[in-house]
Structure 1
Amino acid sequence: MDKITQRQKVISLVLKSIVFFAAIIGIVLSYLAGRNSFMGGGHVFMYFTIQSNIAIAIICAIGFIFLCRGKDISKVWYIIKFVGTVSITLTGVVFGFVLAPTLGSAAWNLQNTLTHLIVPVAAVIDFFVISSVQRIRKSSVVFVTIPPILYAIYAGIGYVHNWQFAEGYNYPYFFLNWGSKAGAFGFTNELPFMGSAWWILVLLIFLLVVGFCYLKIADLIYKRKG
């Protein structure tokens, strides 16, 4: 493992601070938005968006402490950082290209902008800033599927037990609505267009591709520094 430069350290500390405070403010604003709004009120913590924001905020906060203390960071920690970064990337991409178009002009309010745009962008940049410090094996890409798989199981349990993710909705996102016209493996000409199982498969493939690309770019940065 190479030592982080002073320039990398300063930039990373700034980015980690942005991630942490943007996530906290976004989560609080989402909670205060009200129970009946999308991802609002007490239900806010049932969504992957908020859970991934909490995770990356904690990861960055602990990373911030590590950097300030000048301690070497283990490879395991970099893998955790990598997985958290890919997860928050999924949060941003799914919202921007899948959910926002269905929500209309109200989609990009302050809380959504913080949790779906600012946090993911800052987290991704931070990952590449420190990517020259530790190399991660390409095989580690499989770990990026763990958070979404766990969430899909969680949402599935909620669907079966009729948990209310929002008033009248026992599922968090339209593509995890197992009771839609598309069901699990079907297709339809309206939302969600295809069954929940297909959506999960597509998202997992997307994560693996993104994760591999991130590691490839990080590897190039590492080699360039060397």
Structure 2
Amino acid sequence: MRIVVAIVRGAVAVAIVAAIVGQLVTSITFWSTGKPDLLGTTLGNFFSFFTIQSNLAAAVTLAIGAVVVLRERGQDPRWFAILLTSVTTYMVTTGIVYNVLLRGIELDSGLTQPWSNEIVHAIAPAYLLIDRLVAPGVRALPAKTIGVVVIFPLAWAAYTLLRAPLVTSPSTGTAGWYPYPFLDPRLSDNGYLSVAFYVVLIAIVIAAVGLGILWLSRRRVHASAPERT
């Protein structure tokens, strides 16, 4: 079982990296053809997407996890359990947000790679959740771990809202680039009030998903514990 999990974790990590590289090459080709002077900005924008950052974190975590599951015979080390819980939370949230809010938004066909899109937004998030359901070594963590889990998303939101007005949008050539339309105050009559609503909503989703994964881990540990007589 552990060998199978290690192989699958490694394969999914490779698939995620391939998807990110494939989309990066497509993005560079698309923007360098039209506006080569904005290539540096485009690269910065590419790696500012929460989806890209969470998938990179997932690839690294799964690669580490492939080694951990082979080396450890009991529960996962606490540091890895926290890392895996955090990354799983980010990936599942990415899948939920994309498929609920963003899947119907049309993008330029020359800018997207459909297979890459599906890996980072659907396949990888689904696998991370399945991993928590079946992989050995799961460790029960206290509910207060959610305080660690939410640090990165909050930092990303602050970074995004501070950076976005200062960045040139490659598509328009004007100031103001937001990785996701629901974060752009210019697209709503309510401006930043609308943005605040979505930030709070996503924070609630992240916390709920994180607490759900923590609960799932505890349930698995309790279910596998031998009954006392």
Map 1:80-119 → 2, pairs under 5 A = 80-103=83-106, 109-119=114-124
Gaps of 5+ in 2: 32-38
Matched-pair contact (CA < 8 Å) for 2:69–2:137: no
Counterpart Cα distance in 1 of 2:206 and 2:70: 31
Q: Normalising by structure 2, report the TM-score.
A: 0.80
**Number of the residue aligned with 1:191:** none
Matched-pair contact (CA < 8 Å) for 1:100–1:108: no
How far apart are 1:87 and its partner, in Å?
0.4
Matched-pair contact (CA < 8 Å) for 2:81–2:138: no
Matched-pair contact (CA < 8 Å) for 1:175–1:196: yes
Report the aligned-residue RMSD: 2.5
Counterpart Cα distance in 2 of 1:128 and 1:178: 39
**Number of the residue aligned with 1:58:** 60
Q: What is the SS of the residue equivalent to 1:211?
A: helix
**Number of the residue aligned with 2:191:** 183
1:161 to 2:169 alignment: no
The amino acid of 2:214's aligned partner reads L
Counterpart Cα distance in 1 of 2:119 and 2:86: 20
Cα 1:104–1:178 shift into 2, 3 Å: closer
Cα 1:92–1:133 shift into 2, 3 Å: closer
The amino acid of 2:61's aligned partner reads I
**Number of the residue aligned with 2:213:** 214
How far apart are 1:101 and its partner, in Å?
1.4
**Number of the residue aligned with 1:146:** 151
Counterpart Cα distance in 2 of 1:213 and 1:201: 18
Cα 1:154–1:12 shift into 2, 3 Å: same
Counterpart Cα distance in 1 of 2:168 and 2:142: 39
How far apart are 1:103 and its partner, in Å?
2.4
Q: What is the SS of the residue equivalent to 2:60?
A: helix
Matched-pair contact (CA < 8 Å) for 1:19–1:119: yes
State which structure, 1 or 2, has the greater radius of gyration over its C-alpha atoms.
2
Matched-pair contact (CA < 8 Å) for 1:18–1:122: no
Cα 1:149–1:206 shift into 2, 3 Å: same
How far apart are 1:34 and its partner, in Å?
2.6
How far apart are 1:68 and its partner, in Å?
3.1
Counterpart Cα distance in 2 of 1:151 and 1:86: 15
Matched-pair contact (CA < 8 Å) for 2:16–2:119: yes
How far apart are 1:49 and its partner, in Å?
0.7
How far apart are 1:153 and its partner, in Å?
1.2
**Number of the residue aligned with 2:27:** 34
Q: What is the SS of the residue equivalent to 2:186?
A: coil
**Number of the residue aligned with 2:178:** 171
Q: Normalising by structure 1, report the TM-score.
A: 0.81
